[in-house]
Chain A
Amino acid sequence: MSFPNPATSVKLVLLGEAAVGKSSLVLRFVSNDFQENKEPTIGAAFLTQKCTIGSKVIKYEIWDTAGQERFASLAPMYYRNAQAAIVVYDVTKPASFIRARHWVKELHEQASKDITIALVGNKYDLVEQDSPEDEENNMRKVSVEEGQNLADEEGILFFESSAKSGYNVNDIFIGIGSKIPESKVASSAPGGQGSSNTEGRIDLTSNAANNNRSGGGECAC
């Protein structure tokens, strides 16, 4: 496969409470696969995936972090140089939404100033069957409006998605890719590695990503 434009690297970090589906979103995006009971992530996992948006090709370098609260102290080293972040919550778990709010706040305070953030309410498949009349027994505990309002307040992107069905997953990455300013894509965030130029970087897809059992190839977007 050949592309008119060389891929530009975007460092992206996933944050959110335990078991909201961070690793599953990445697995869906990178390998178009889903595991019903995905093992908890300990520490962090690194994966890459290319994504074509219009004429530009973005290579996402994804840091998937552990969700358990006690690993939160490790998160700064993964989001510090990130150009993009996905903050995930579970639409059936109000506590996870509160946690997401904290993450967005922390990112605005601690991360790079021009980081592109997307708020994602995952597990949309669980609420598809909800009926508007029967609010009592509905699975959904965080409404679309609540999510949208938080995103608007913070000036960030908002999606509801399902890693299980694949609903909206690629759209998150396309949305982030379209919002990231062109100039920001070319150069890493300040304080990044010694060589921030894309040419100097080794192609991750050939080794690192494949080690993570990714099906590889391009994303469908």
Chain B
Amino acid sequence: MDIDKLAKSLFNGEDQPLNDNIKNLKVKSIQESLISSSSQFAKFVEYSRSTDGLINNEFRSKIWPILLGINDENGGEVSHELLSSNTTLNTISASFFLEDLNTNDLLPHKDEDQVKLDIQRSFTILNHIQSLQSQLQNESYTTIFSPSDMNDLKKKLSNLIIKILRKYPTLHYYQGFHDIASIVLLICHTHNEDDPQNDYYINEELAFKLLERLTVFHLRDFMINDMNLTINHLKLIPTLLEVVDPQLFELIKQTSNQYIQTGGISYDYSFYQSISCILTMFSHDISNIQHILIIWDFVFSYNSILINPYIYAAALIHFKDDIFLKLNVIIEDDDTDFSNVDSDIVHTLTSPNSLFDGLTDEDLIKILNKAKSLLEAYSIDEVKNSASNFDIWFKHFNPNSVLLTSSSIKFDNSYKREHFDQWLIGSNSFSELIQLQEDEIAKQTVHDLEVSRRIVEQQEELSNSLISETDFDSNSHSLSSSLSLTSTSSSTINTKITSSALFKKLFKLDHSTRPTRPTTPLSDKDENKKLINRNKDTHLIFNNIYKISFTIGFIGFLIHFLLIKNNPTIYNNGLYKMFSSSVSSPMKKIGESIIKNEPIHTITSEISNMSADIISDVGIAFYDVCTFVKNSEFVSHGISLSQVGLGGIRNTLFGAVS
């Protein structure tokens, strides 16, 4: 219907919070959808993703279970044949779990002390309730919590978490899980219509089901013993930035620990600063609870935690100008060098604390809209760097990650129910799954260690080749002195040639742009990519050889021209011979080594050495020629040879480079 369409577009306002009229309209639409008997799932998704999400907690407590696949589209609970089977766990009503843990016979979980510690000292729930109260001033109900209510709430929170842990003893509690649980508990808190005296009531059964579903289907990766799987999730943020915002990516890459430590050889996409956001679905770092709830509406509408890295990337892009302003960095182009930027400050500015400090409603709307469009435009397993990133971290090493199973963005709820609900029975199949995931990530860790070992080797080789480059420096020094004797007017080229950095640049194969690729056999596609990469390197070498040859040829031609014109006899004095021999033989050698497929760095250093020899030969030859020319009458004719000739050479030699 047209009105529906109108309403939908209205709910997604122009990056502004909804005004009261539209908000009321949205409330009515949600209410209608909730009582309607026809399929309303698409509408709930739409409401959740549009501005201000599901508006209030009453709606959330009804719609979240539907979005997460606990309840069917009409709000009724999905009956699981699996769940009705005879397990002691399911015969116990969840409601009294939270009242008293002693009523069930499950063994205590090893992390229970930590849970109690975190809940006791955590302000989170208190802060949330207080901000909730201020937010709810104009809503239908407000609740005042007394200190005893608070204690009761803390106890319920603690029991809720412990109940989950006891039912899934293979899972490990992490600090931040209590933030997730407290939000769930709050959503399941309603005012009790039947008993106005005792005016707060928590639907503990719902709280348990919501948290259980979140834990088993979405947060499982964070709760295995090995933290590296969590680290994999964080890596998706720079992965996205690489294709979406190269400048932010370069900033994060160049200030990352591994990049600095390996001198730019290697980058592992690590992005630890985002850990609290990814672990807690933003609930640890955002102080305004309405913002958290709107984000959760948004996340649950995708029924996948893959959206979280998108939200984080969108936030970084949204605050990009602020970040660069605070860093005092002016961006000229995509190649901006960030090596002088303090990595600690970058870490801080890109961490949730500073990113979400003072977040406004408008900021949040823009960030979520950005995240939505990023997800539409850049699917994580289809972006151009996915073969070396997502495919390896998840598809290859961790196929049982939540991102590829129960929290996959590609499966709908009925598929997920069919394939993954078996884990909720708390049977052995879940323990086996966790063990499998531990094994998977352990394999990746072994592989990563192997990669870092190779990086260290690579670094050593590089430092060796640097020594040979030092030799080259001394060569070029002799060249410069010979050249400076020749003519003062050629001083510009002098300094340029003496700069060994230039030659390094000319010959350096850019290691940093080549992500380290694992050698384990991957898909054919990846093999092809490697081949292409190799071809690219070879091409680069030939390109450089070509440049040098061209320059040498040009110099040769120039000298030939001058000599022929002025004194044909000198042509026979062996100058030409010297040139040809000094140039062609090393070229042959390089060609041979390329054919023999020697490691790139060997060839590179060989080329550097040879070019040094060539250049010094050229220099000597030049000196001879120039002395000759200087002594001849040619110069007195008023033509500045060095100006014309060297200028041309310089352009040929460096034009393409600089």
Interface residues of A (CB under 8 A from B): 11, 18-19, 35, 37-46, 61, 63, 66-68, 70-71, 73-74, 77, 80, 191-195, 200-202, 204, 207-208, 211-212
Known contacts A70-B174, A193-B343; 11 additional CB pairs below 8 A are: A18-B175, A19-B117, A42-B275, A42-B280, A74-B272, A193-B342, A195-B340, A195-B342, A204-B345, A211-B354, A212-B353
Number of A-B residue pairs having CB atoms within 8 Å of each other in the complex: 101
In whole Å, how far is B631's beta carbon from the nearest beta carbon of chain A? 50
B535: interface (CB < 8 Å): no
Docked-complex contact B121 and A37, CB < 8 angstroms: yes
A193 partner residues in chain B, CB cutoff 8 A:
255, 260, 342-343
Docked-complex contact B353 and A211, CB < 8 angstroms: yes
Docked-complex contact A191 and B176, CB < 8 angstroms: no
CA distance A73 to B257 in the complex (A): 15
Docked-complex contact B122 and A201, CB < 8 angstroms: no
In whole Å, how far is B387's beta carbon from the nearest beta carbon of chain A? 27
Instruction: Take A18-B175, A43-B275, A191-B261 as given contacts and tell me if A37 and B123 are in contact as well, using a CB distance cutoff of 8 Å.
Output: yes
Chain B contributes a number of interface residues (CB within 8 A of A) equal to 43
Main secondary structure of the interface of A (DSSP, over half): loop
B218: interface (CB < 8 Å): no
In the complex, which residue of chain B has the Cβ closest to the Cβ of A193? B343
B228 partner residues in chain A, CB cutoff 8 A:
73
1/0 contact trace for B548-581 toward A, CB 8 Å? 0000000000000000000000000000000000
Docked-complex contact B175 and A46, CB < 8 angstroms: no
Interface residues of B (CB under 8 A from A): 114, 117-118, 120-124, 172, 174-176, 225, 227-228, 255, 257, 260-261, 270, 272-273, 275-276, 279-280, 284, 326-328, 339-340, 342-345, 347-349, 351, 353-354, 357
In the complex, which residue of chain A has the Cβ closest to the Cβ of B280? A42
A195 partner residues in chain B, CB cutoff 8 A:
339-340, 342
B174 partner residues in chain A, CB cutoff 8 A:
68, 70
B270 partner residues in chain A, CB cutoff 8 A:
77
Docked-complex contact B340 and A200, CB < 8 angstroms: yes
Docked-complex contact A73 and B279, CB < 8 angstroms: no
Docked-complex contact A18 and B117, CB < 8 angstroms: yes
In whole Å, how far is A91's beta carbon from the nearest beta carbon of chain B? 17
In whole Å, how far is B124's beta carbon from the nearest beta carbon of chain A? 6
Docked-complex contact B353 and A45, CB < 8 angstroms: yes
In whole Å, how far is B328's beta carbon from the nearest beta carbon of chain A? 6
In the complex, which residue of chain A has the Cβ closest to the Cβ of B347? A46
Docked-complex contact B326 and A42, CB < 8 angstroms: no
Docked-complex contact B340 and A194, CB < 8 angstroms: yes
CA distance A195 to B340 in the complex (A): 5
In the complex, which residue of chain B has the Cβ closest to the Cβ of A38? B121
A41 partner residues in chain B, CB cutoff 8 A:
175
Docked-complex contact B348 and A208, CB < 8 angstroms: yes
Docked-complex contact A70 and B172, CB < 8 angstroms: yes
In whole Å, how far is A85's beta carbon from the nearest beta carbon of chain B? 16
Closest 8 CB pairs of A and B: A42-B276, A194-B339, A37-B121, A43-B275, A211-B354, A40-B175, A208-B348, A46-B348
A194 partner residues in chain B, CB cutoff 8 A:
260, 339-340
In whole Å, how far is B346's beta carbon from the nearest beta carbon of chain A? 10
